[in-house]
Structure 1
């Protein structure tokens, strides 16, 4: 009778056993917290749309949906750039001013040099502005809050200089091809959707995206891993500045002029959308898909307020934004503690 050969016993101690146990026995509370953090905004968005559609006959109409999607589509590009910045643990307060400056420069370019100048001038200025901010943060080791606050004031000052203290309004010629970029609903939505899709691929499918996540998780660890931390910081602010200027340029194509008074507070809206979408303010975790849910959720909330509480004006909208953001940050803090405890 041949002896029975038993398979080798699984290790009951040591690093291999602990790793296997972690992989197979992740606490359910940790899994739930991670799912809520990543997909909470999407779930709330779906629920809110369902309730609003059931309670109002005008909400699910095409005119209302097109207003939600088309009117502020270009502003959502600010949130796309902000997503990359916040994932690294930074902040960019200059995007609202750059949005306004990009619109004025695009209108000036369309009026004086045609469509190509209308596109290239704001993109070049936005990229240069973002690069300078990134170099100050990465190389001079200055705080992102201070650098971008100075950028906010500087871009607004340059805007005033270009428009002679707001006395000059540059108009996009009626026959310019540039105007087609902002016309209708589908052109803005498809342009923004394409840029968000590219941003998602950049964040999830490239070494650059992995570097940003590692940088936001721990800059010292990223340096020890040999990752190009300084270059990554410069590139995210370059990307944010370029997207903000591009959003302003496309917005001027839609409005037909460079409006000097827009963009005030847009940086706070962008930050709110990114954080509501699940990106941690401390960095190291976030997604472009979450930002999409965040911007759409804020847009739906604003739409409902405009229809149901219009008598209270914009003050009510700002109050709701602030309260909603505070709740989300509180939930993120609690969820992070839950994952750390487990």
Structure 2
């Protein structure tokens, strides 16, 4: 007689619990280390700068969480951010509302293209989103003329990225509100239950009559829209659309999602775990920047890509070994 694995021995649940606890512990330890070692680390200025900048990564990681939970992948997010930032800068003279909505709709449109090809064309998400990564990047360079596009400072568009609300950076508010909505959607709605079921076993979900294709469609649209929102933050924060920005951001998003306890194979994950994964990765580079300032080490910005890649590889190896051992036992 075959028995179902208990919750305590299920590899996905074990990975999620260990990851989330490990992320929180590592985050606290890094903050304590930074506060003791660096002058100006635990200050309002550093906290605001940290949250303002990492809000962009938080937004794309949130969308990536839903995608990966379904067992998919979205490699186009970085290019969509670049494209949306150019569009945002182009329409920034129309005010904050249109400067926000139009790039988000552009991102959602790219997500809809991804979704249509994946659900209707039955093409692997890796191939589809790799193609749109190249397409969106090329379109961003084409629209911008291969140069930065200055945003209008006469309106209130710039306030989206550089302004504060109730003493808190507006991009950080955007990220926190988006994550709170994401937590509610994944844990308390039918759409969230469908998302988890599809990632756990797509064939079984289809046999149960769940709207698999429709759910996956909206998951990719969500990822595109959140990437578009990150593009708005990028353009308003730096005062220009950046067609060459966002390279490798998909790896940062994937790393944050996986570190937060989401299995790359899908079916297991939490939104709040991703939130702390984003904060941990951001804190690591914040500490490295302060260390550079002390002159003990000297790591160029290119080393950040190397560290992100190595960090992601390490986490994936740990995830794979833990899952394999738990399944064997």
TM-score (normalizing by structure 1):
0.86
Mapped to 2, the partners of 1:194 and 1:32 lie a distance apart of 28
State which of 99, 102, 112 in structure 2 corresponds to 1:131. 112
Q: Deviations over 1:37-72 (max 9, x none)?
A: 343222221222223323333322222222211123
Map 1:226-265 to 2 at 5 A: 226-265=209-248
Mapped to 2, the partners of 1:34 and 1:252 lie a distance apart of 35
User: How many Å apart are 1:29 and its aligned residue?
Assistant: 10
Mapped to 1, the partners of 2:213 and 2:45 lie a distance apart of 46
Structure-2 change in CA distance of 1:189 and 1:142 (3 Å): same
Native 8 Å contact 2:146 2:243 kept in 1: no
Structure 2: state its 5+ residue gaps. Answer: none
User: How many Å apart are 1:269 and its aligned residue?
Assistant: 1.1
2:275 aligns with: 292
Structure-2 change in CA distance of 1:153 and 1:22 (3 Å): closer
Structure-2 change in CA distance of 1:306 and 1:268 (3 Å): same
Structure 1: state its 5+ residue gaps. Answer: 1-13
Deviates further, 259-268 or 195-204: 259-268
Q: Which has the larger radius of gyration?
A: 1
Equivalent residue pairs, number: 321
Structure-2 change in CA distance of 1:109 and 1:47 (3 Å): same
Map 1:103-122 to 2 at 5 A: 103-111=85-93, 113-122=94-103
**SS of equivalent residue, structure 2 residue 149:** coil
2:57 aligns with: 75
Q: Deviations over 1:155-202 (max 9, x none)?
A: 111112211233xx4332223122221124521111110011101111
Map 1:161-240 to 2 at 5 A: 161-166=142-147, 169-184=148-163, 185-240=168-223
User: How many Å apart are 1:132 and its aligned residue?
Assistant: 1.2
Native 8 Å contact 2:86 2:243 kept in 1: yes
Deviates further, 27-36 or 196-205: 27-36
Q: Deviations over 1:49-100 (max 9, x none)?
A: 2233233333222222222111231232111111111111111111101101
Map 1:319-330 to 2 at 5 A: 319-330=306-317
User: How many Å apart are 1:131 and its aligned residue?
Assistant: 0.7
User: How many Å apart are 1:220 and its aligned residue?
Assistant: 0.7
Mapped to 1, the partners of 2:189 and 2:235 lie a distance apart of 32
Q: Deviations over 1:109-164 (max 9, x none)?
A: 123x3333312221221111111110110111101111001101111111122112
Report whether the alignment pairs 1:340 with 2:327: yes
Report whether the alignment pairs 1:66 with 2:48: yes
Structure-2 change in CA distance of 1:256 and 1:145 (3 Å): same
Deviates further, 139-148 or 120-129: 120-129
Please report the RMSD computed on the Cα atoms of aligned residues, expressed in angstroms. Answer: 2.4
